[in-house]
Structure 1
Amino acid sequence: MPTDSAAKTGKSKGVRGIRRLHSHSQDRPAIMSRYDSDTEAMLPAGARGRLYDLFAQIEKEFEALYAENIALRDQVDILSERVETCSTAEKTPSEAHDATDSGAKPKRSASQISQKIKTTYKASTSKIVSSFRTASSAYSLIQNFRGHRDGVWEVGVSRPGVKIIGTASADHTAKLWCTETGICLLNYLGHQGSVNAIRFNPSSDLVVTTSGDQTAHIWKAQVNLPSHDLIKSHSSGEDDVEGSEKEDMADDLGDQVTELTTLRVPMLELTGHMGVVMSADWMTGGDQVITASWDRLAILHDAETGEQISNLTGHDQELTDVRTHPSQRLVVTSSKDTTFRLWDFRERNMLVSVFQGHTQPVTTAVFAGAEKVVSGSDDRTVKIWDLKNMRSPIATIRSDSAINRLSVSPTQNTIAIPHDNRHIRLYDISGNRIGRLPRNSRQGHTKMVCSVAWDEENPVCNLFSCGFDRQVLGWHINLQPKE
């Protein structure tokens, strides 16, 4: 994740992701690594130079083939997932008649057999095609929020009833967006480094953002939303216009937002860290904020005065994320030391529990319901934990890419998992696979997906994602209600 210096801002985690996407050297033959020195000495200088040139050409060609292979794998994965959703083809009328016939099957001519094969083929093909349509309608890309000039590290959803999302970016800005129109309502320019996280207060118009400048800022998120009539006319006509006209309509909506379009000064600056502040979250009630930093500390602050209430120490390496329980005074902190910790503020003597189970840095850990925690790691696994039994996870989800800041649907108990390999996968709380969001040349992210956030009150866009490709996307996920 980015540091506060100009040279490193916005690149640290991005480089990590890019390297991860391309760091498959173990799968490639090391052509030059074992070149025998005695043999090399026997070759003339000209021949050695020519040999090196040939090796370079071979390596370049191999890289091109490898990239093509990755693209083909993605296509195979997409097709495989779609085929998996197909149920067994229903029996044809002739087959049903045969099944009810208790006597011996009559002999069929070659033409009859050929006709049956054609009928069965058509039925199977129809099932596959219909499943493709179902998949596309189940996961639909609805909105693209454009405006950031560098990678977007996190997307957050405002409190219920407020149709706003927030984004934190390596371009040193945080932005607030209208979820109905996709227009930017407010730019926050108060940080001097990459903005790494954004979280909304659960009961007011306050926002907390963290940055590579070693601070966290609390600022007011009060904005003027466009009028309902203009939003309605914009939404009803957007399917009938071209892309450039849509942008003009968005500009017309944006003209209504004249106040608080740009904010440069926070209401309160939270200090005390000696390193990059990676994340922050509001304690239940919204009167306190807890921050997590690369200095291995988490600090609990008073949200009104900025006073440091408590320092949480114990992690051996940098912290990567912090999350609070929605209704209890519980906090989980994630760290590069391969663990995450549960801090219980309900008792006078704060209790601390250490969760061990990952083999590489834990990138995130979030509460799921009242008694579960879901953690994600660079070790390419997501683990589901029961707070009553912390010795081992109750379920493990294994993937082919590192995990970033995931989100759990509070009512559907569905886990949305963003990956370094540009995929977003969906699982239920028991670890069963539901599906994967569409990703092709026209839809989805083109680089590492950094964060996702559910918004179940939004009937149109109920999942948002952001990535290192500067994109912020709104998805409609058609989840079946759970009994």
Structure 2
Amino acid sequence: MASVLEDPILIRYFKGHKDAVTCVAFSPNTKVLATSSLDKFLMIWNLRPNSKAFRFVGHTEGVTGVEFSPDGQLVASASQDRTARLWIPCIHGESTPLKGHTASVRSVNFSHDSQFLVTASNDRLVKVWSVYSQSVLFTLYQHTHWVRCAKYSPDGRLIVSCSEDKTVKVWDVRNRICVHSIMDRDGFANYVDFNPDGTCLACAGSDHTVKIWDIRTNKLLQNHQVHRAAVNYTAFHPSGNNLITASTDGTVKIIDLLGGRLLYTLHGHEGPVLSVTFAKGGETFASGGIDAQVLLWKTNFDVFEYKKVLKKHMRRIHIDEPPHLLDIYPRSPHHHDVKRQSVEVNN
């Protein structure tokens, strides 16, 4: 029986921050939402009705990123005060600063086993930290401008980073070298992330585009031109079939990646939307913006499809492997002919 697509709906909104909300992140059990803001605070919101929120104090400048560790034991944050911090997400909100960058830290991301943390900074560096020892393990050099974001692949073997030098770089974690560099003539990526199976990248462009790259073939698979201003953030639905985007044009959009088309445009924020994320099961998502609001949405559109995808995965004997390192290794940097390989989707 074909499922009926329903519109996402706004469930509730959270007010507590005094300045732009820069990042939103669900806990692995989806009972709690963490948010970071330029007001220098982190907030932890309990999603049960009538529950208190906790404000975490520690950073001395605006907080630019936040994330729960996959095991749910820690929260990491990035700040303009040149530190990242590791927090125990309890009432007291104790934290330890990670000092090593010499400029604003733009993003934090845990490895899938919660043992490592990767940070990106305006000092042009990407650093990998041991969560256990809270020290730098190694630094990735090569970017020539501010690094906006760095992310682990789902299997932890790769790191992807994007910079205002207009490159997106894929790094081999074990050998600590850049194995692939994507150059973009039109703009730089504000944000980059792997899809759930680790074979593709989504890049949120300053040139108003969302680009999907296949890292096995180095091809640009899709180029979505659906926003009227810079795209600040993207998030894959856990099924990998849909992508949600946050833009300076004040909208959140949902793209159907299988059909290569725009599904929904959501208006909820007053002003630029800076961050968006799905809960682990994909049934809800949250967004944060310059209006200091955090909005919680019910997904609706992909509930049946996601359950079907999970069933199919359970039935399959051979599950798709993440890309073998030899598929992408080594690559020399080169420009891409965007038009020939792209699927362009206009509003």
- The answer to whether TM tops 0.5 is yes
Q: Distance in 2 between matches of 1:299 and 1:376?
A: 22
Task: From the two aligned structures, give the one with the greater helix fraction.
Answer: 1
Structure 1: gaps of 5 or more residues? 1-133, 223-259
Q: Distance in 2 between matches of 1:475 and 1:354?
A: 35
Aligned to 2:75: 207
Q: Distance in 1 between matches of 2:121 and 2:131?
A: 18
SS of the aligned residue for 1:317 comes to coil
Residue of structure 2 aligned with 1:220, choices 80, 88, 91: 88
Opposite residue 188 of structure 1, the aligned amino acid is: F
Aligned to 1:296: 124
Instruction: Please report how far the alpha carbon of residue 348 of structure 1 lies from its aligned counterpart in structure 2 after TM superposition.
Output: 3.5
Residue of structure 2 aligned with 1:167, choices 31, 35, 47: 35
Instruction: Please report how far the alpha carbon of residue 181 of structure 1 lies from its aligned counterpart in structure 2 after TM superposition.
Output: 2.4
Residue of structure 1 aligned with 2:186, choices 359, 363, 385: 359
Aligned to 1:70: none
Opposite residue 436 of structure 1, the aligned amino acid is: T
CA 194–368 in structure 1, closer or farther in 2 if over 3 Å, else same: same
Aligned to 1:409: 237
Q: Deviations over 1:338-378 (max 9, x none)?
A: 11111121x43634311123521210111112211111111
SS of the aligned residue for 2:49 comes to coil
Equivalent positions of 1:75-474 (< 5 A) are: 138-159=7-28, 161-181=29-49, 183-222=51-90, 260=91, 263=93, 265-266=94-95, 268-345=96-173, 347-348=174-175, 350-357=177-184, 359-370=186-197, 371-390=199-218, 392-399=219-226, 400-430=228-258, 431-437=260-266, 439=267, 444-457=268-281, 459=283, 462-474=284-296
Q: Distance in 2 between matches of 1:433 and 1:406?
A: 14
Kindly indicate whether the alpha-carbon contact (under 8 Å) linking 1:201 and 1:282 is maintained by their aligned counterparts in 2.
Answer: yes
Q: Deviations over 1:123-174 (max 9, x none)?
A: xxxxxxxxxxx99x62211010110011100001111x24111100000000
CA 176–317 in structure 1, closer or farther in 2 if over 3 Å, else same: same
Opposite residue 470 of structure 1, the aligned amino acid is: A
CA 341–184 in structure 1, closer or farther in 2 if over 3 Å, else same: farther
Kindly indicate whether the alpha-carbon contact (under 8 Å) linking 1:337 and 1:360 is maintained by their aligned counterparts in 2.
Answer: no
SS of the aligned residue for 2:229 comes to coil
CA 310–163 in structure 1, closer or farther in 2 if over 3 Å, else same: same
SS of the aligned residue for 1:394 comes to strand
Aligned to 2:323: none
Q: Distance in 1 between matches of 2:21 and 2:129?
A: 26
Q: Distance in 2 between matches of 1:163 and 1:172?
A: 24
Opposite residue 233 of structure 2, the aligned amino acid is: R
Instruction: Please report how far the alpha carbon of residue 413 of structure 1 lies from its aligned counterpart in structure 2 after TM superposition.
Output: 2.1
Kindly indicate whether the alpha-carbon contact (under 8 Å) linking 1:339 and 1:358 is maintained by their aligned counterparts in 2.
Answer: no
Equivalent positions of 1:31-70 (< 5 A) are: none
Kindly indicate whether the alpha-carbon contact (under 8 Å) linking 2:210 and 2:225 is maintained by their aligned counterparts in 1.
Answer: yes
SS of the aligned residue for 1:181 comes to coil
CA 175–358 in structure 1, closer or farther in 2 if over 3 Å, else same: farther
Kindly indicate whether the alpha-carbon contact (under 8 Å) linking 2:169 and 2:178 is maintained by their aligned counterparts in 1.
Answer: no
Instruction: Please report how far the alpha carbon of residue 419 of structure 1 lies from its aligned counterpart in structure 2 after TM superposition.
Output: 0.9
Q: Distance in 2 between matches of 1:416 and 1:325?
A: 19
Kindly indicate whether the alpha-carbon contact (under 8 Å) linking 2:195 and 2:240 is maintained by their aligned counterparts in 1.
Answer: no
Opposite residue 434 of structure 1, the aligned amino acid is: L
CA 339–350 in structure 1, closer or farther in 2 if over 3 Å, else same: closer
Kindly indicate whether the alpha-carbon contact (under 8 Å) linking 1:296 and 1:318 is maintained by their aligned counterparts in 2.
Answer: yes
Q: Distance in 1 between matches of 2:120 and 2:231?
A: 19
Instruction: Please report how far the alpha carbon of residue 458 of structure 1 lies from its aligned counterpart in structure 2 after TM superposition.
Output: 6.8
Aligned-pair identity (%): 26
Opposite residue 12 of structure 2, the aligned amino acid is: Q
Task: From the two aligned structures, give the one with the greater strand fraction.
Answer: 2
Instruction: Please report how far the alpha carbon of residue 183 of structure 1 lies from its aligned counterpart in structure 2 after TM superposition.
Output: 4.2
Task: Report the RMSD for the aligned CA atoms in angstroms.
Answer: 1.8
Kindly indicate whether the alpha-carbon contact (under 8 Å) linking 2:24 and 2:275 is maintained by their aligned counterparts in 1.
Answer: yes
Instruction: Please report how far the alpha carbon of residue 216 of structure 1 lies from its aligned counterpart in structure 2 after TM superposition.
Output: 0.5
Q: Distance in 2 between matches of 1:297 and 1:358?
A: 22
Opposite residue 411 of structure 1, the aligned amino acid is: S
Q: Deviations over 1:168-219 (max 9, x none)?
A: 0000000111123274432110100100000110013201001111000001
CA 369–457 in structure 1, closer or farther in 2 if over 3 Å, else same: closer
Instruction: Please report how far the alpha carbon of residue 285 of structure 1 lies from its aligned counterpart in structure 2 after TM superposition.
Output: 0.9
- The answer to which structure, 1 or 2, has the higher relative contact order (CA under 8 A, 6+ apart) is 2
Opposite residue 451 of structure 1, the aligned amino acid is: S
Q: Deviations over 1:288-334 (max 9, x none)?
A: 11111000001111112222111101111101111212223221111
Kindly indicate whether the alpha-carbon contact (under 8 Å) linking 1:283 and 1:329 is maintained by their aligned counterparts in 2.
Answer: no
CA 181–323 in structure 1, closer or farther in 2 if over 3 Å, else same: farther
Structure 2: gaps of 5 or more residues? 309-347
Kindly indicate whether the alpha-carbon contact (under 8 Å) linking 1:144 and 1:182 is maintained by their aligned counterparts in 2.
Answer: no
Q: Distance in 2 between matches of 1:182 and 1:454?
A: 22
Instruction: Please report how far the alpha carbon of residue 412 of structure 1 lies from its aligned counterpart in structure 2 after TM superposition.
Output: 5.0
